[in-house]
Amino acid sequence: MQNKFLNENEVGVFALGGLGEVGKNMYCVEYQDELIVIDSGILFPDDQLLGIDYVINDYTYLFENQEKIKALIITHGHEDHIGAIPYLLRQVKIPKIYASGLAVGLIKNKMEEHRGFKANIIEYQEYEKIVFGKLAVSFFRTNHSIPDSFGIVVHTPQGIIVHTGDFKFDFTPTGPDADYQKMAALGQKGVLLLLSDSTNAELNAFTKSETTVSENIKDIFTKIEGRAVVATFASNIHRVQQIVEASIATNRKVAVFGRSMIRTIEVGVDMGYIKAPKDTFIDSKLINKYSANQITIVCTGSQGEPLAALSRIAAGTHRQIKIMQGDTVIFSSSPIPGNQASVSKTINMLFRRGANVIINSPLTDTHTSGHAGQEEMKLMLKLIKPKYFMPIHGEYRMLKIHSKIGIMTGVKKGNEFVLDNGDVLAVTKNSARVAGKVQSGAVYIDGKGIGDIGNVVIRDRKMLSEDGLLNAVVTIDEASMQLIGKPVIVSRGFIYMREHEELTNEIAKMVEETVVRKLQSMKKININFIKKDITKLLTDYIYSKTERSPMIMPVVMVIEQNIQ
Amino acid sequence: MQNKFLNENEVGVFALGGLGEVGKNMYCVEYQDELIVIDSGILFPDDQLLGIDYVINDYTYLFENQEKIKALIITHGHEDHIGAIPYLLRQVKIPKIYASGLAVGLIKNKMEEHRGFKANIIEYQEYEKIVFGKLAVSFFRTNHSIPDSFGIVVHTPQGIIVHTGDFKFDFTPTGPDADYQKMAALGQKGVLLLLSDSTNAELNAFTKSETTVSENIKDIFTKIEGRAVVATFASNIHRVQQIVEASIATNRKVAVFGRSMIRTIEVGVDMGYIKAPKDTFIDSKLINKYSANQITIVCTGSQGEPLAALSRIAAGTHRQIKIMQGDTVIFSSSPIPGNQASVSKTINMLFRRGANVIINSPLTDTHTSGHAGQEEMKLMLKLIKPKYFMPIHGEYRMLKIHSKIGIMTGVKKGNEFVLDNGDVLAVTKNSARVAGKVQSGAVYIDGKGIGDIGNVVIRDRKMLSEDGLLNAVVTIDEASMQLIGKPVIVSRGFIYMREHEELTNEIAKMVEETVVRKLQSMKKININFIKKDITKLLTDYIYSKTERSPMIMPVVMVIEQNIQ
């Protein structure tokens, strides 16, 4: 079935997630009866989404068009690109998932955690071209903060569409080079549309090389007299390899702490990304058999996550590691916005325990971003030379800045498209237009629940978090329409009711009077009217007394006559 | 009464707030029967303190020693130095409050908002020396982001104690110079102890001058074709003056939006800090009578505060200002940690409405900090040349770094004191020791309540914010010990109960069974036992079904026999 917004010769390109936000990336290329999906990520919720574990996309469009889906193509193995695959597979039939080396391993791990959903995962090769029908895809290697990151080339009858995935340019990478030749050849051949990563569009710079970081870490290691404790992102396997090399160079054994770090290093060693003499890694239980200057500890917790290894070390609750005088803790990471406070807390605690702490800064450069700054965005645009340009991956202002960079580097004004999730861009050889909007949106995951949390629940949580709640329970005898007993007043998160007995009694008395009066005015008990009166009464009264607005929860129990 | 920790000849120096944190500054100098308090600030709560408006200090020590208090001395008029004065005065008798020019005005404003508490506010002069008994104070002018900021010199029989207040060094300030000569003379004379601002101790730099910022803003103004909208901190009156000057230079009239900005500019004009030809400021209702390039809008909202002028402009809900094509919004500010998300949201909305947005960055420099970087800390240490050194104002790691800077610049190792709130440093001419700990702590303010919110309430709010709550109400007939009616199950912030009728019914049935069983095992109704059983049952059951842990609130109503 043809997409209703598209003319027969038009190729439709749209995001179900990833525009106007950083996360839950999912892009679609549709042509006649074929549909290719690129990435299926999750988004980590901000502070406003209270209690939400993560956010996925609304898959309605894919569900309704599942017979057209040829494949899901994965650019790389980060959670905001693969994290939602199990949820997608619950709702939508995806015949094939194509992914690259490390991403294959990570997706398989993930599927094991969500049993009962089969996935047909196929590893794509760098120089492969996969032909579906009228659509085909090929790949080009990029630099990013996880190995095996690729840009996706979608070959359509109207021309070539390039999706960069997440990328940066690193001229001295610790892994393989980006494939400049392939990108340049695409540009030479002619690219109809470029979708390019905008995450760091506000950064007027060329992202520092991993080699710089690696040299800095090595430098720091030579100056450390005690143990070296390094926290970084587990998925940044190249970084872990650099830490291992710095340890070898300074005659240190490496002990690994934190579940995800242990798992990643196992995968990294298995797949050959991490290379080290056999006796480099030691059992974490053996660290005390070595002197301090012979030990490197690699661990999770670079974002101050409360349960991660480094956070427990800092809090003094780690079973095996206690900070000793002379320990140096290196953050080979930057705090993600929203995590600053918890990272800061961790650092303070480490200082208090006597550790020396080195964080990433323009002076230390113990970390570098995985995303292109403005100069790299320009290089990508110069190599690919697209006719049409659609910035992806980023909040609105990042997309907007990236679109200006596009025009600055040769995209014709009017050929740039800053879109929202769901907006369908219809392109042909000679034209591009926003043709319509397919269904898209955010679905919240909380515990086992998928999408059972809506905005009302979030709003309630917000209200509860600010002033708590007050419960007023009254019981009414149906026959006599009389109150039975006294109202019960209970609160949580409001004030200590025990210390405010007077207020509690006053509230109970007012509720009683209000309900009695209301009952007198009624011919028949209407629970909702009574509740409404209680809510209004208490909202006003409590605010006037305390300037707080706890959520008022009235419960009215009506007892039928014939009590046994 | 002599402080029990001090020998008769010792001077006691301690913080009741401001160490290990940024905010609620309050420092004390005590000698025999005299006590001087420096500053009385509030702290803005972090995300963890749900619903708390702000945090003040525990004033128990001051209350118990109020007959010794000679004065409260204010360094400058920021909220983290004056914000708690009304709360302090409710609890503690303070004979005199000494403050400088602008701070006097701001404190008086504040006292008007909290009627019923008299304050004896005295304006101190730059070259004055106020003698109490054995203690005396004098002042030296510093640079900071609010006019009339002073360092405090406490003259004691054991020697001179210097408290810097908040400071930076600005060699080309927009207001008066810092008093280098006075600081150097103190150093020459000999300073026993220095308490110095550590807020920016992690910044390996010399803070940029206000003049640089002012020139940048002027440059930007010359390039703006439409309206110039500038958001900044209301209290930074020198900055506002710079914006006014840039407006005059580009033939713009200035309209002011946001209550605190309007108030500050009135004070600023009255006190002569803001100088402008009479017709520079226009009534905010008249902005549409001018062409776009003749208008500057100065407003609040630089931190993305939801109700501030700029936030409402960005959201399109401001009654008078709608963003027009060509508008340029300048953030002459940096987001305070914790506000990044809301600032980012505001910027995205402004971009969406078509505004050009300029934020502070190393490229634009539209803002500079009010606090000393490491190089300025060194200069202060070199001018004052203290024997003993106590870093103040900052989280633990900042104090720690500052203490190292102290040693690096000449403080003898062992003479630096990184302390916690309450720690009493006892000093004489020749000695310094940590002598003991007085009571200190955090008191939460929520609405009208002072200190009625404890950690239990905060913990409840946290729990409510994550998974909401579930209310289970049962009614029992006392005589027959039988359940009356069905249990009522209500929830908020958990799931949509209406959409989960099955779960609700199941829960009600299980509660009923549990209560009936419990009642059968009882000789007399014990409400607490029944509640405990309901809580345990529902906690386990709901987690197994949903992996969520809403707060369970059981209510058991016992009805006496004789229903009328």
Which residues in A lie closer than 8 A to residue B462 (C-beta atoms)? 465
Q: Which CATH architecture is the domain B11-205+369-450 placed in? A: 4-Layer Sandwich (3.60)
Arithmetic mean of pLDDT, A350-376: 94
Per-residue pLDDT band for B24 (boundaries 50, 70, 90) equals very high
User: What is the distance between the alpha carbons of residues A217 and A239, in angstroms, rounded to a whole number?
Assistant: 10
- Cβ of residue B483 closer than 8 Å to a chain A Cβ: no
Please report which confidence band the pLDDT of residue A564 belongs to, taking 50, 70 and 90 as the band edges: very low
**Average pLDDT value for residue range A211-234:** 95
Six-digit token string for A189: 């051949």
User: If pLDDT is split at 50, 70 and 90, which confidence band does B561 have?
Assistant: low
The answer to whether A495 faces chain B, any CB pair under 8 Å, is yes
In angstroms, what separates the C-alpha of A283 from chain B's closest C-alpha? 32
- Between helix B180-189 and helix B374-384 the angle, nearest 10°, is 50
Q: Tokens for A351, please give them.
A: 């200082």
From B397's Cα to the closest Cα of chain A, the distance in A is: 5
Q: Residue type for A424, please?
A: V
How far B364 CA lies from chain A's nearest CA (Å)?
11
**Whole-number Å distance between alpha carbons of B63 and B114:** 20
Question: Mean pLDDT across the stretch A91-95?
Answer: 96
* Interchain CB contact of A465 with B (< 8 Å): yes
Q: Which residues of B are catalytic?
A: 197, 371
Q: Are A165 and A149 contacting, i.e. CB atoms less than 8 angstroms apart? A: yes
**Mean per-residue pLDDT for B305-317?**
94
108-167 in B: which are within 8 Å (CB) of A?
Answer: none
Give the residue-averaged pLDDT of A220-243.
94
Q: Is the pLDDT of residue B325 over 50?
A: yes
Please give the average per-residue pLDDT across A416-445, as a whole number.
Answer: 97
The CA radius of gyration of chain A, in Å to the nearest whole number, is 29
Give yes or no for residue A172 having a pLDDT over 90.
Answer: yes
- Nearest alpha-carbon partner for B487 in B520, B514, B464, B525: B514
Answer yes or no: do B452 and A484 touch at CB < 8 A.
no
Does the pLDDT at position A487 exceed 50? yes
How much is the pLDDT for A444? 92
To which H or E segment does residue A382 belong?
A: helix A374-384
pLDDT digits (tens, 9 = 90+) for B276-292: 998 999 999 999 999 99
Higher pLDDT: B419 or A273? It is: B419
pLDDT in tens, A119-162: 999 999 999 999 999 999 999 999 999 999 999 999 999 999 99
- Rounded CA-CA distance B251/B273 in Å is 21
Residue B363 in contact with partner chain A when CB distance is under 8 A: yes
Q: Are A210 and A202 spatial neighbours (Cβ–Cβ below 8 Å)?
A: no
**What's the pLDDT score for residue B1?**
61
Distance from CA of B308 to the nearest CA of A (A): 19
Among B13-17, B155-159, B468-472, name the one with the lowest average pLDDT: B468-472
A256: Cα within 13 Å, side-chain hemisphere: 19
Mean pLDDT of chain B: 93
Is residue B562's pLDDT more than 70?
Answer: no
Residue B479 confidence (pLDDT) above 90: no
When pLDDT is cut at 50, 70 and 90, the band that residue B564 belongs to is very low
Residue B189 to residues A131, B161, B390, Cα–Cα distance (Å): 85, 12, 19
Cβ neighbors of A112 (< 8 A, separation 6 or more) are: none
pLDDT digits (tens, 9 = 90+) for B336-390: 878 888 999 999 999 999 999 999 988 899 999 999 999 999 999 999 999 999 9
Residue A48 confidence (pLDDT) above 90: no
Ranges in chain B annotated CATH 3.10.20.580:
468-559
Closest CA to B444 of B80, B14, B58, B86: B58
Q: What is the tens place of the pLDDT at every residue in A62-77?
A: 999 999 999 999 999 9
Task: Render pLDDT for A448-466 as a digit per residue (tens, 0 to 9).
Answer: 888 788 888 888 999 999 9
3-state helix, strand, coil in chain B (%, to 5): 35, 25, 40
> Alpha helices, DSSP H only, in A385-500?
396-408, 455-467
Give strand pairing partners of B131: B136
Which range is least confidently modeled, A81-95, A515-529, B334-348, B443-457?
B443-457
What CA–CA distance (Å, rounded) separates A527 from A281?
68
The confidence band for B452, taking pLDDT boundaries of 50, 70 and 90, is confident
CB A397 within 8 A of CB B348: yes
Contact A465 B462 (CB under 8 A): yes
Quick check: B448 contacting A, CB < 8 Å? yes
Task: Report the residue from B473, B484, B493 with minimal CB separation from A460.
Answer: B493
Chain segment A541-562, per-residue pLDDT in tens: 999 988 899 999 999 988 875 5
Phi, psi of B209 (to 5 degrees): -75, 150
Q: For a pLDDT cut of 90, what percent of chain B falls above it? A: 80
- Does B47 reach chain A within 8 Å, measured CB to CB? yes
User: CB-based contacts of B363: which residues, under 8 Å, 6+ apart?
Assistant: A204
Please identify every residue of A annotated as catalytic.
197, 371
What would be the CATH architecture of the domain defined by B210-358? 3-Layer(aba) Sandwich (3.40)
**What are the strands, taking DSSP E only, across B32-131?**
34-38, 54-57, 69-73, 97-99, 121-123, 129-131
- Domain B468-559: assigned CATH number: 3.10.20.580
What is the location of CATH 3.40.50.10710 in chain B? 210-358
